[in-house]
Homo-oligomer: A and B are copies of this chain.
Amino acid sequence: MSNAKSLPLLDSAGEGVVPCCPPLDQRPITAEEAETAARMFKALGDPVRLRLFSAVAAHEGGEACVCDISDVGVSQPTVSHHLKKLKEAGLLTSERRGTWVYYRVEPAVLAAMGQLLTTTAPAARAAAV
């Protein structure tokens, strides 16, 4: 993953990566965390981009080229534009192999966003206050 280090929700932490932010209901998210996370939510806040993101994530092997996911009813330049936006938001990584650029969802990013939206148990919430 050539640009994995730029994934904004993640910090390098020795052996692996750790998500930046706790569940949204555990404690109020900070301004800095909110800037990062809002950028990613905004990138998914467009139906076509969300479909493309899902198409890449669900594609065999967890990666896809533009040629694989052009069935969302928009032109290929529009697809490329949206894929670029998703990449800029840190949701996709890309790699050129031969003629095509292949896009991949970083599972850790998906997990980090999912964690933001996890419902905290009341006990855990109380402990965090």
Contacts and interface: CB of A to CB of B under 8 A. Distances in A.
Interface string A105-125: 101001101100111000001
A65 interface: no
Interface of A: 24-31, 34-35, 37-39, 41-51, 53-55, 57-58, 60, 62, 69, 72-73, 105, 107, 110-111, 113-114, 117-119, 125, 129
A62 B25 contact: yes
**Copies of chain A in the complex:** 2
A35 B34 CA distance: 23
B50 A46 contact: no
Contact of A50 (B34, B43, B105): B34
A54 B41 contact: no
A34 B44 CA distance: 9
